[in-house]
Structure 1
């Protein structure tokens, strides 16, 4: 099985009825020259890459940008249409006065699987005290959190909010909260490795911003940025496959990772087992 743990469904045509909203999405998310896709197209591309299930991510930027990239309600609509294919991660702008109520509604009523936050886009430090009610809710409901971490190619997204080291106090305060710092914290890969070694509840994913080809990028990540056996020996329960679709395509990343040498148990963990543990809990 292959699970893609980082998909932005901004062009899924079921939620693309409003042209003005779609334009806001493209401008805010920084993706252009793409249009709405039907489920037939989406599933054909997933099948081509061997992806069986995907985590879809909402993004609430109502105070920083004045709107939503994808709302929690839209995300729930997509998941309910194909619950065998999708997991849904709610988002809430933490600067909202009703942030905790919005998240509780997403879990209780919409049935979403976790929380997605982007500190750089939403302009907050992960260890800010205002975040505590959201983290406690995730603990109460046993829901995981996916954070954007590392750089973003959007100019108006300060990296200081998403440097991997900005998250450490969160892990100290919440040792049982399953957290994924997406994008391997790139370019701070070794800082990301350090955090995973110290905190077993911390995960990352392969949706790395690559400057070379996917093959060159993944080879560098697994053999240069990390030592060639670091993943197998020390990190093989904490790294998940993720693409960052629609910015990057899952099938290209899968083809690249298939060429990275690793033992079968480590590849199974990377492609699905770690995602299942992150989503639903269980011992490392």
Structure 2
């Protein structure tokens, strides 16, 4: 195996094998294995406390695993020391900057501190993250989303082949999430490998090639988004009617594939395939029952995510 990251080779960008990290009695990461191929967008998903950030800290060498190994482009920390991070950039948790300096001044300082003068790339990376025109504003006046994008710009100064982003959309409003998703897509389109973490399925389902879902430090799912969608349950909808008792009776008598139960918050929740739900709702209208609400409770992937990360639920699958 060629382990020189400067040589074009088939080695994985990330190859983690049986990685474990404990803090006393707490197992933060429990025998985690993961492979991220070059050129893909890979998502690590899980609720807060699942072990995502702990794994990323180990990847960057900020902490060391108690057992197992992590290879970046074929090299380990034991073999290459800090050189293992050649071609790797990103941030763990939220990026930090000097708030009294401008975005441009922060990037200039980072370009010098990195050892190589990358100032010639500053205009390019500012354009990539859509901060051109705001670079001379103080970071103290930046929105949270702008600081996240400045963090991506700082990472891109190193011309990485692997970009690691820890919850890049956390704390953003819907517009900021949309912009961050579009940015990640553009970066991946340029051939960059992106490894990102999130605790929201909807932030990654449109952009990731493969995902690992974590639950209390362990793997709950490995696989592609296609695999995940195939496992997803039928969608649920909140259903408000003028006669809930009659609506439930129609479901019981004529639609065995549709489950209609009372919603604790009021009204009903109807679960079933889209085709069966459409036919059922049409029958309600024909029966003279008025519809006041018919809205999704959550996407099928969100429902599956909650199932996989709830206590007692596991559906492990190896990455192909």
Does the TM-score normalized on the shorter chain lie above 0.5?
no
Larger radius of gyration: 2
Shorter chain as denominator, the TM-score bin is 0.3 to 0.5
Q: Which has a greater percent of strand?
A: 2
Q: Which has a greater percent of helix?
A: 1
Instruction: Give the TM-score of the pair, scaled to structure 1.
Output: 0.36
Instruction: Give the TM-score of the pair, scaled to structure 2.
Output: 0.33
